[in-house]
Each structure stands twice: as C-alpha cells, then as structure tokens.
Amino acid sequence: MSSTRDIDKLIEMMARLPGLGPRSARRAVLQMIRKRGQLLSPLAEQMAKVAATARECLNCGNIGTEDICDICRSEKRATGEICVVQDVSDLWAMERGAVFGGRYHVLGGTLSALDDIGPEDIRIPQLVARIENEQISEVILALNATVDGQTTAHYIADQLDGRVRITSLAQGVPIGGELDYLDDGTISAALKARRSI
C-alpha cells in the first residue's frame, strides 16, 4: 500500500479491472501519477465523458454514444444482412477484420438452462422483430464455437427457419474457441466460407 488513502483507493479500483491485478494496478497508478498532466487528467476526463454518454443501441445492442449506434445509422452499411454475435467484444473483433459490410445484432449472452437464461434474456425476440421489419435477406450466426454458443445458434435457426437465409461462420473457428481471441485473417476466412444451415 502507498501512504495515502486516495492513491490506495485508486489502486484498488484499477486492480478490479479485467487483465489487471494488484501489482500491475500499482505500476499503472504510479506511471499515471508521474505523468499526471499528460496521462491521468486526460484519462479521467475521457472516462467521465464515456461514462456520461455510453449506452446500448436500441436497435442492435452495440455500445455507442447515441440511442442508435454509428453502424445502425450508417448509410454505407448493407441493410439486408444481420450478423448475430454474442457480445460487443465479438462485434469489435468482426469490425477489426473489416470484411463484413452489413449490420449486427448483439445478443449479450447465450441461452443457458443451467443459468436460467432464456430467449427473452438475450434479445432474440428483438432479432425476430428486426427480420420482419428491416427486409433482411440473410442472417449470419457468428457465435462462439462453444456448446452454449452452438445451442443458441440452432435455437435461432429454428425460430427463423423459412423466413430468411441463415448462415454461420464456418472455416477457421476452432472447436471450443472464442471469437474475440481469433486473428483478423481467420475471421475473414470464416466469413467468406460461410455456409447455409
């Protein structure tokens, strides 16, 4: 611990972030204090700004700073394709790949009997509504290749059967792997080789 309560408290708060522990939090805080003009003050301001403006897109569940996110608002994005992902981090991974030009639907989780998570808990009714309202021709299921991810993919495919073309990422997603851990090239290959379910 440092000799000051306010600094100790900042270290404790930083240590709770994913990827940081007590030791790395201490190093980060010391570094920030040493460069408080260039690092700590701007970071505090940017955090306050994001805290005040960040919200979930009412349409797709992406995180942005408006009620409807940049991707849903963009006229450059194809309107006929929806890529369904589990989390915002997966949407970000897809965007880094920069090979998908349509829009997204972020579930915010997967179906799970164990955790009592049903279709209404992961925005599936909203997805069904979008298929009806937005003239969607294809739904790409870009869910993790885990048991829960694939259970969710099959449930969605059953719900939408006959109303729209349903595909899933194919080549390149390793069994048991999570989308957010893949490199851009693998995501790109998997998207290009997508197949009908």
Least distance CB 68 / Zn ion (angstroms): 6
Q: Cβ 78 to a copy of itself, closest distance in Å?
A: 15
Residue 62 touching Zn ion (CB under 5 A):
yes
The least CB distance from residue 84 to a copy of itself, in Å, is 16
Closest CA to 195 of 176, 167, 172: 167
Q: Is 72 in the site for Zn ion (CB under 5 A)?
A: yes
The answer to the question of residue 69 lying near Zn ion (CB under 5 A) is yes
Partner that binds at residue 18, options a copy of itself, Zn ion, none, CB closer than 5 to 8 Å by kind: a copy of itself
Return d(Cα 71, Cα 68) in angstroms, integer. 8
- Tell me the residue length of the chain: 197
Question: Is the CB of 96 or the CB of 163 nearer to a copy of itself?
Answer: 96
**Cα distance between residue 142 and residue 144, in whole Å:** 7
Minimal distance in Å, beta carbon 71 to Zn ion? 5
What tokens were used for 116? 């009592």
SS3 at position 6: helix
* DSSP string covering 59-118: TT--EESSSS-HHHH-TTS-SSEEEEESSHHHHHHHHHHT---SEEEE-SS--BTTTTB-
Please tell me whether residue 130 binds Zn ion under the rule CB under 5 A: no
Q: Which is nearer to a copy of itself, 6 or 75 (CB)?
A: 6
Residues that bind a copy of itself (CB under 8 A): 1-4, 6-7, 9-10, 13-14, 16-20, 24, 26-33, 36, 39-51, 53-54, 62-65, 69-71, 87-89, 91-92, 95-96
